[in-house]
Amino acid sequence: MLLRCIVLFCGVFLLNACGKNEVVENKRFHFFVNTENPETKDAVQFLVDRYNGELGSPVLDIVEDQAAANSKIGFTSNLKLNADHKLGVGQWITISSRTSRYSLEGRETTTEIQYGMDISFDKDNFEAKQARVKDAESSEADHLYHLFCHEVGHGMQLNHKEDDPNDVMYPFIPEASKHQVEYDLYFTQIRTFLGTR
Ligand SMILES: [Zn+2]
């Protein structure tokens, strides 16, 4: 008689020491953009498309249905004032689930790791610059793209680089950059995280 038992739970756990284990990682990020402002939504879509284009892989997308999202972009009033002059914050999220199937051959376990992120931008700063996000020559476009890449970098588990002002993950993002931002290095690190190098 075939006995099947499915166990599903979330959280941190250790893999079984015996049986057959398979690990499935999902590193596609489906954002719910938490704003009613159509210009803000349009600007975020532009940043997502630019990011995917420069990465060379469509790892970010935007979904209208919050239930279909594994990631979030929000806008916080006075983030700059309340969060030590930060214009954005980004945090990575992982959710693990394990499914075990018992059969005559033994236990087969599938571990699925779902990667997501939670980003928030300072609302006033973002809205003040969003109208020029598509103007590649503008300092507003430079700033918003740099800020977006930085927070998405945190969402893909990159930490701050304190010692190199040109690094995307340098903790201070100027409104008008004097530095040549090292996007090539950044996207190499992102591809390493994604396993697409
Ligand atoms: Zn940061």
Q: Which domains does the chain have, with CATH numbers?
A: 20-194 (3.40.390)
Confidence of residue 20 (pLDDT cuts 50, 70, 90): confident
What's the first-to-final CA gap in the chain, in angstroms? 46
Q: How far apart are CA 47 and CA 58, in angstroms?
A: 12
What six digits make up the tokens of 183? 């996007």
Q: How far apart are CA 126 and CA 169, in angstroms?
A: 19
- pLDDT of res. 1: 37
Q: Which residue reads 């290095």 in tokens?
A: 185
Task: Answer yes or no: is pLDDT of 3 > 80.
Answer: no
pLDDT, tens digit, 9 for 90 and up, residues 83-132? 677 899 999 999 999 999 888 888 899 999 999 999 999 999 999 999 99
- pLDDT higher for 20 or 112? 112
- Residue 30 amino acid letter: H
Structure pTM?
Answer: 0.85
> 5 CA distance to ligand 1 centroid (A)?
43
> 170 CA distance to ligand 1 centroid (A)?
7
